[in-house]
């Protein structure tokens, strides 16, 4: 596996991978790779001729009081994992490569980025949209893979790519890959490693209570009291704050008071022991 740290090396290596129009998968990450990322890589390998992964802890998507400095960085270990998964090229730029002096552009996607995590993390999705647009332009992949765990992020990226016509010249397919979970149901995340043993055990309440709430909503029970009960259960289990627990349209992410015939999603963000966990699950119309 080659490792590119400058744009010149990246371009040379990418061109070597597609002399005859081979399909190229991009798996953008911030590193600290876990089984969830490896699942994206495996899907990418099954789908495309070559896989390129990027590792960049993007400062513009972290708020001033968030965990940018503490975010786990383990490039050597990550590179070994990528190599084992058959990744052809690792794009690992420094901040000075992605945001050189004088960088002044910001991509802001309205609508889908505004509620949910957008409300509690102002500017976060601007940072994501801007860096992913840059990654798409730098690598020009035919396919890009993202985890459905970050469901709102995926919606923002799809809207950005559509509106900026990025899907036409290169990124033909933006593929969402279902969330990978630990044995007790907790969605895999690089941030799970912040959890103490006690909080890690309590964190499994999140997917369990979400499934409980989904069963009730699918059985026709009222959404508002069901979501209130979900919040109470999380607070009772040791979560300190619930940023949101929302039933939303799976496409627009607009909140729903009840199931309305179109695909729906339950999305939750809650804090435990200083760590913010997010999760989302499909809600079916009829059980
Ligand atoms: O999901 C992530 O790891 C990041 O938000 C992404 C898409 C790599 C952009 O920095």
Per-residue pLDDT band at 172 (split at 50, 70, 90)? confident
pLDDT at 287: 52
Q: Catalytic: 143?
A: no
pLDDT in the model for residue 137: 97
Output the residue whose Cα is nearest ligand 1's atom 6: 29
For residue 57, which atom of ligand 1 is closest to its CA? 10
Ligand 1 atom with the shortest distance to the CA of 30? 3
Identify the band that residue 169 occupies on the pLDDT scale cut at 50, 70 and 90: confident
pLDDT beyond 70 at 236: yes
pLDDT in tens, 38-73: 999 999 999 999 999 999 999 999 999 999 999 999
pLDDT tens-place string over residues 188-228: 999 999 999 999 999 999 999 999 999 999 999 999 999 99
pLDDT by residue (tens digit) across 81-107? 999 999 999 999 999 999 999 999 999
CB 280 within 8 A of CB 143: no
Catalytic residue among 37, 124, 143, 199: 37
Please name the residue that has the structure tokens 């279902």. 178
Spatial separation of the C-alpha atoms in residues 41 and 233, rounded to whole Å: 35
Residues of the chain with pLDDT > 90, as a percent, come to 96
- 113-150 tens-digit pLDDT: 999 999 999 999 999 999 999 999 999 999 999 999 99
Q: How confident is the prediction for the chain on average, in pLDDT? A: 97
pTM value? 0.97
């Amino acid at each position: 596996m080659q490792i590119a740290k400058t744009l010149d090396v990246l371009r040379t290596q990418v061109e070597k991978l597609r002399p005859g129009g081979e399909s190229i998968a991009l798996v953008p990450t911030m590193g600290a790779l876990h089984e969830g990322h490896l699942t994206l890589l495996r899907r990418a390998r099954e789908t495309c001729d070559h896989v390129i992964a990027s590792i960049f802890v993007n400062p513009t998507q972290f708020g001033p009081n968030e965990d940018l400095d503490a975010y786990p960085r383990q490039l050597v270990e990550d590179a070994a994992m990528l190599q084992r998964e058959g990744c052809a090229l690792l794009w690992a730029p420094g901040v000075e490569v992605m945001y050189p002096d004088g960088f002044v552009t910001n991509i802001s996607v309205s609508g889908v980025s505004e509620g949910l995590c957008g409300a509690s993390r102002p500017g976060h999705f601007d940072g994501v949209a801007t860096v992913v647009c840059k990654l798409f332009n730098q690598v020009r992949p035919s396919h890009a893979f993202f985890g459905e765990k970050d469901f709102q992020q995926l919606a923002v990226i799809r809207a950005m790519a559509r509106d900026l016509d990025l899907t036409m010249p290169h990124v033909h397919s933006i593929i969402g890959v279902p969330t990978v979970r630990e044995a007790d149901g907790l969605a895999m995340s690089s941030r799970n490693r912040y959890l103490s043993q006690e909080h890690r055990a309590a964190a499994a309440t999140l997917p369990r209570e979400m499934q409980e709430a989904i069963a009730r909503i699918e059985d026709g029970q009222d959404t508002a009291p069901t979501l209130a009960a979900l919040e109470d259960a999380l607070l009772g289990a040791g979560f300190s704050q619930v940023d949101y627990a929302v039933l939303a349209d799976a496409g627009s992410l607009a909140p729903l008071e009840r199931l309305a015939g179109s695909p729906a999603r339950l999305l939750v963000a809650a804090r435990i022991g200083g760590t913010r966990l997010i999760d989302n699950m499909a809600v079916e119309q009829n059980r």
